A = this chain, B = another copy of it.
Amino acid sequence: MPATIRDVAKYANVGVGTVSRVLNNNPSVSDETRLKVLAAIKDLDYHPNPIARQLSTGRTLTIGVILPYLTMPSYVERLRGVQRALAGTEYDLILFSVESPAQRDAFFEDISRSPRADGILIISLPPEDQQARRLANSQVPVVLVDAYHPELCSVLIDDIQGGRMITEYLIQLGHQKIAFLGDYLETPFHPSMRYRFQGYQEALQEAGITYSPEYLAEGTNERSTARRLAKQLLSLENPPTAIFAGCDTQAIGVLDAAREMGIRVPEALSVIGYDGIRDAEYLNLTTVEQHLFDSGVEGVQLLLEALDQTIPEPRKKYIPIELVVRGTTAPPLA
């Protein structure tokens, strides 16, 4: 049976308050007493029980992170940022991974009422209005990363602008036949794909290019699915000269398709991704870098600030995105 603070107090012939003061570096303990207590702690191999401390202080020294199931490299990358930012602090990280909308809702419910964590970081899971309100009114501060709600702090990425940026760049290169290959746009989870698509459409419209529905390919976020969809796009009677892939993983699938079909990239087909995962660099893929790691770091920072304040106001922080031109884009063949 591990020693308790009372055992230590008895052993050192002091009161429990004194032991507690020594543990918490309270200066109003005489050196003599402090040494006696420290010796007792050592003799008894005493280690304070964090649960008991949590109960009496009301702090859990834990940050809850809720994120979609760890399949996509981009989630992992954001999580790494969170992890790193938390490493220097006194907080531990408790991970809630969401595999379905129902589970997400359940977590949002639970979290907002049970003080399991001092703060909550929600990654890539935008809450609905009612949930957001609950979260905002709950005791624990909440920060969204890669998600937005007016009532909550968020670290966000302007996906509409990203979509425009890519499309404008392709148009500027001279492309007119630009396809969009992404996740299903109507997903209960995350609207970022919709935003990217919206940016794509806006840029087309501004350039006076008519949007053609046959240039839209939707599918699951997998390399193999993207490959299949890309083959369909490239087999059209009037195939696109550029494909805007909704994420880098899908762009890699597009590259697979092009290779298998003997279509040269970038000469005969420009391919552009979105995210800036590590593989993009190796594959020399043109992409929009959205600083995934940094978004995790910033999220933690916002949360730590919110933890300091008594009344956290809903702050927004944009992570800049940037177009990284590499080897998979070029002007179309004349």
B97 touches A95 (CB 8 A): no
Looking at A108-116, A141-149, A187-195, the stretch in contact with chain B turns out to be: A108-116
**In whole angstroms, what is the CA distance A99 to B80 when docked?**
12
A55 touches B51 (CB 8 A): yes
A224 on interface, CB distance cutoff 8 Å: yes
Convert A105-136 into 0s and 1s, putting 1 for each residue whose CB lies closer than 8 angstroms to a CB of B.
Answer: 00000000111100000000000000000000
A13 on interface, CB distance cutoff 8 Å: no
| CB-CB under 8 A for A94 and B62, given A70-B79, A79-B70, A80-B70 | yes
A52 on interface, CB distance cutoff 8 Å: yes
A80 touches B71 (CB 8 A): yes
A20 on interface, CB distance cutoff 8 Å: no
Interface set, chain A 58-98, CB cutoff 8 A to B = 60, 62, 69-71, 76, 79-80, 83, 87, 92-97
Residues of B within 8 A of A69 (CB): 80, 83
**In whole angstroms, what is the CA distance A115 to B51 when docked?**
8
Chain B's closest residue to A83 (CB) is: B97
B76 touches A70 (CB 8 A): yes
Residues of B within 8 A of A48 (CB): 114
Given contacts A2-B113, A49-B55, A71-B80, 10 further A-B pairs with CB under 8 A are A51-B54, A51-B60, A51-B116, A52-B55, A55-B55, A70-B83, A87-B97, A92-B95, A92-B96, A223-B282
Q: List chain A positions with a Cβ less than 8 A from chain B.
A: 2, 45, 47-52, 54-55, 60, 62, 69-71, 76, 79-80, 83, 87, 92-97, 99, 113-116, 139, 223-224, 252, 256, 278-279, 282
**Shortest CB–CB separation between residue A17 and chain B, in angstroms?**
19
| CB-CB under 8 A for A50 and B116, given A83-B70, A282-B224 | yes
**In whole angstroms, what is the CA distance A100 to B287 when docked?**
32
**In whole angstroms, what is the CA distance A278 to B99 when docked?**
19
B99 touches A87 (CB 8 A): yes
B95 touches A93 (CB 8 A): yes
Q: From the candidates B50, B113, B224, B279, name the one contacting A47 in the complex (CB within 8 A).
A: B113
Chain B's closest residue to A252 (CB) is: B282
Residues of B within 8 A of A282 (CB): 223-224, 252, 256
| CB-CB under 8 A for A115 and B79, given A87-B97, A94-B93, A282-B256 | no
**In whole angstroms, what is the CA distance A54 to B80 when docked?**
29
Residues of B within 8 A of A87 (CB): 97, 99
**In whole angstroms, what is the CA distance A266 to B131 when docked?**
55
**In whole angstroms, what is the CA distance A62 to B94 when docked?**
9
**Shortest CB–CB separation between residue A138 and chain B, in angstroms?**
10
| CB-CB under 8 A for A94 and B97, given A70-B76, A115-B51 | no
